[in-house]
Structure 1
Amino acid sequence: MEQLPDDMLANVLGRLPPSSLAASRCVRKHWCSIIDARRLLLTDLLPLRVEAFFCNSYFIFNRTFLFARPTAARRIPGGHLDFFDDDDVSPIAMDHCNGLLLHYEMVVNPATRQWATWPPVPQHLDDLSPSYSRHCFALVYDPMVSPNHYEVFLITLPGSGYVYNHNDGSSSRIFEDDDFQQEWPPLSYTVYVFSSSTKEWRWEERSFVRRQGGEAVGTIADMHIDESSSKHKTVYFRRSLYVHCPNDSIMRLSLSDDKYQMIKPPPAAGSKTKTSCHCDASSYLGKSEKGVYYAILDLDGPQFQVWLLTEFSGQSQTEWVLKCNVSLQATLNFARHIDAEYGVDGPWILNYEEKEAQPTAQEEEFAEWDFDNAVTVLETETNDKTGSIDFLGFHPYKDISFLFISNRVISYHLNNSKVQDLGTINIPQMEDAFPYTPCWMGELSEKNKA
């Protein structure tokens, strides 16, 4: 193969199926450059656009709903998650990564109607009382690196102290009071990982060593913080997993060299104290056009900040760069006006059940999300702050954030502050939502394919 001219090699590679072609990018840098330069890999097979949101409601049937345009809902054949063999399965989405959804004990690809189970959590971790520890599940799937395999990470963060429940009903603390003053995190940090590429089909320990020069960001006691105003999630970006810790710091696990580093939060997040007067401020971690983003939503204003994490010197040094710092009062007024004038109408709808009807001519015309329809909202004298505001996530490939205001989903363009109404999510007690980017690559499991 090394002796073949580039044109002939491109002809050979171009005959591979998309999943094998994507995997070929990882064989050699030269192959990767040939595939990318000639655009041999069809981009419509990869997750490049937001087609929908998966929204969790623990109040209505304990299930996940699809929020999308009617045409987009029909393009996602498994969007309603109704294709499982077991009728008792009612999955709640816990994470999303490049087209795959993470549910408890299974990974699902709605675009291909495939699903695969993962083994039960190790028993000794189940014995840790959840009121004293925080289990964080994270899904890692990179179709450009390994289109047929995924990894599930189980990350345990300390709470007020681990408690181990014994078989005889007694319990004992793993950490004593003096241990709470120990630095967090330690020099070596261990997580549990399940990889679908292993034949053993079991969880395995994986240790990460703190990167040289990296500092601890606090003590174990600092992790015992009221987390009612924050949603701690993980982000996968460029072979690293970023974990949003309860004290607002970021743990970056490098999957390429098994090292990790603690990153302090942006200045505004680090200065707020959630247990004091700033309890209305919430922080969020996500991925967008230029990398890892950090959002702070303060309802006292309401004020909205977005920071971009810049990394240099081989990722050993980091800096937060402020991208926007704006008042959302005008956006709040806009959402209330749209809701009062149009009610539940909107280009996107909450799909309670699969629709078999063919799309209308109007739906076909507006089948894709038109970003040019965003409008500029101006400040008015109205300063009525009634109405809830929540953060739904970032667009992974554009500088756009999604806000949930008075039951309406509003897209907010970070570069020009333009807004766009997507529609209404009218379900009570919506816990969270995941911007969904379909991916038609990969084969999760032949035995569990619908």
Structure 2
Amino acid sequence: MVIVLVLVALAVLAVVAGLHWYVWRRLVRDTTAAPGRARRVGTAVFVAGPVLMVAALVAERSGAPFWLQRTLAWPGFLWMALALYLLVAVVAGEAVRPLLRRLTRRRAARPAPVPVAVPAGTVPAPEPPEPPEPRPDAGPEPGPESGPRDPSRRLFVSRVVGGAAATAAVATVGYGTYGVLRGPRVKRVMVPLAKLPRSAHGFRIAVVSDIHLSPVLGRGFAQRVVDTINATQPDLIAVVGDLVDGSVPDLGPAAAPLAQLSARHGTYFVTGNHEYFSGAEQWVEEVRRLGLRPLENARTELPGFDLAGVNDVQGESQGQGPDFGRALGDRDPARACVLLAHQPVQIHEAVRHGVDLQLSGHTHGGQLWPGSLLAAAANPTVAGLERYGDTQLYVSRGAGAWGPPTRVGAPSDITVVELASRQA
């Protein structure tokens, strides 16, 4: 098994190295006329970037000293996003490159202007010099269809395409990072439930997932999330997993603002897969200390409906997986039920147990386009509200970001779900 993992890791590194070489060739080698300072600097960037990216991933997963994680995280994870969009932009540039070559050929092949008759009494313009005699050893002159043999034209095309690709990638990553750091925006969704009594009509649940406190997103980010949630004045707050990427000793201070969360019926928490990478038992105790109520395969009765929560499927690797029977087995089926479950794939068990609404996260909406295509292949719903039989599933894109503090095509959100009674 270890040998297989090593071979897979080596294959992944080989692919990453090959893609970096391709982008380096287009952006650095092809845009510099000859080896020199510019090429050396560009090469250094394309060596340091992937090295820092791999180092940041290894430091996070291995539990390296927090100061080292923090030092590596910003440059390493930002390079991960930048490398992705440099690759996308360079590949897109391959379609533009032949058009520019053709345009430069046509400009170079334009005929000389036709002489104009000179009226009597004026001084004629001097005759153009005779073209030099071709050397006996010279090959045929390139014509308009013989290809761009002029190095200056090749360099011009490479610089135009490379410059546009680099500018587009940097702008995309810059704007996507700004979108994460400014904090999530609030979405509002109304969900009608057939069993919800009139007395619970308009009950508002603030759903927040995937905050991902980390060496990059720290206490200041947590405070922005808390302030945004409290400003909605919800009846209940649901934190549906992936709160952290790190241990309690490292990230406990960053999570401290969660103690300020305020809702009439309290704040509830279920684990996500990243809690099991970070010490789930310690974090369950920490959020309890902060005033959140963990629902570990458990249920509580609220006015008008039941609220249940199950552990994330990643907990199965530690003997702490989801137990739908324990959370839902003995409940009154005449009451409406809202389930907190981190991953959308848990919807199928929710349907079998007669849940009315499941609230999830996990997907980040894809986070970095075209990641949404991969997320759609792995999850029944990537974002938003969908129905599965008599059960509805709402998936939040999440408040934070894993890895690069960057989102493209998948803006972060906190969702206020308003329950509606059909009897109202």
CA radius of gyration, larger in:
2
Q: Which has the higher helix share?
A: 2
TM over 0.5: no
Give the TM-score band, short-chain normalised: under 0.3
Q: Which has the higher strand share?
A: 1
TM-score (norm. length: structure 1): 0.24
TM-score (norm. length: structure 2): 0.25
